[in-house]
Amino acid sequence: MTTLERLAEWKAVGTITPSQHDTLTALVRKQRVSVHLELSVLWYLGVLSFVGGLGWTMRAYVADLGDAAILSLLTLMVAACFCYCFATVAPYANREVESPNLSLDYVLYLGCLVLSAEISYLEYRFHLFDHWHHHLLIVSVIFGALAYRFDNRFVLSLALSSLAGWLGLRISGFDVVAADPLRATALIYGGFVAGLGAWLHRQGIKPHFLDVYLHLSANVVLAALASGIGEPGMGLAYLAALLSLCAAAILLGVRYRKFAFVTYGILYAYGAISYKVLVFIDDAFAIFWYGIITGTLVLVALVALARRFGRDE
Amino acid 255: pLDDT: 87
pLDDT higher than threshold 90 for residue 127: no
185-204 mean pLDDT: 92
b/e sequence 184-220, b meaning 16+ C-beta within 10 Å: ebbbebbeebbeebeebbeeeebeebeebbbbbbbeb
CA atoms within 13 A on the CB side of 117: 27
Most confidently predicted of 22-31, 37-46, 199-208: 199-208
140 within some domain: yes
More confident residue, 297 or 128: 297
pLDDT 10s digits, 52-93: 776 677 667 666 677 788 888 889 999 999 999 999 988 888
Amino acid 36: pLDDT: 47
59 within some domain: yes
* Structural domain boundaries, residue 150: 37-166
Amino acid 256: pLDDT: 86
pLDDT band at 171 (very low <50, low <70, confident <90, very high): very low
Amino acid 68: pLDDT: 83
pLDDT band at 177 (very low <50, low <70, confident <90, very high): very low
In sequence order, which ranges of the chain are alpha helices (DSSP H)? 3-13, 18-28, 36-65, 67-88, 103-126, 133-150, 153-173, 179-202, 210-226, 235-255, 259-278, 284-312
Most confidently predicted of 19-33, 102-116, 236-250: 236-250
Share of the chain above pLDDT 70, in %: 81
Amino acid 172: pLDDT: 46
115 within some domain: yes
Whether 107 and 85 have beta carbons less than 8 Å apart is answered as yes
Amino acid 43: pLDDT: 56
Amino acid 4: pLDDT: 67
pLDDT higher than threshold 50 for residue 313: no
Amino acid 173: pLDDT: 42
Q: How many structural domains does the chain have?
A: 1
How many angstroms separate the CA atoms of 157 and 179, rounded? 25
pLDDT higher than threshold 50 for residue 33: no
Amino acid 132: pLDDT: 57
34-50 mean pLDDT: 57
134 within some domain: yes
22 within some domain: no
Amino acid 241: pLDDT: 94
pLDDT higher than threshold 90 for residue 3: no
pLDDT 10s digits, 234-283: 888 999 999 999 999 999 998 888 889 999 999 999 999 999 898 888 88
312 within some domain: no
pLDDT higher than threshold 90 for residue 104: no
Query: What pTM, to 2 d.p., does this model score?
Result: 0.77
152-177 mean pLDDT: 71
Mean residue pLDDT of the chain comes to 81
211 within some domain: no
Amino acid 297: pLDDT: 92
262 within some domain: no
Q: Measured between alpha carbons, how far is residue 220 from residues 155, 183, 210, 223, 228 in Å?
A: 18, 10, 16, 5, 13
pLDDT higher than threshold 90 for residue 99: no
DSSP string, 52-97: HHHHHHHHHHHHHH-HHHHHHHHHHHHHHHHHHHHHHSPPP-SS--
Residue 259 burial class via C-beta count within 10 angstroms: exposed 0-12, middle 13-18, buried 19 and up: middle
Amino acid 16: pLDDT: 75
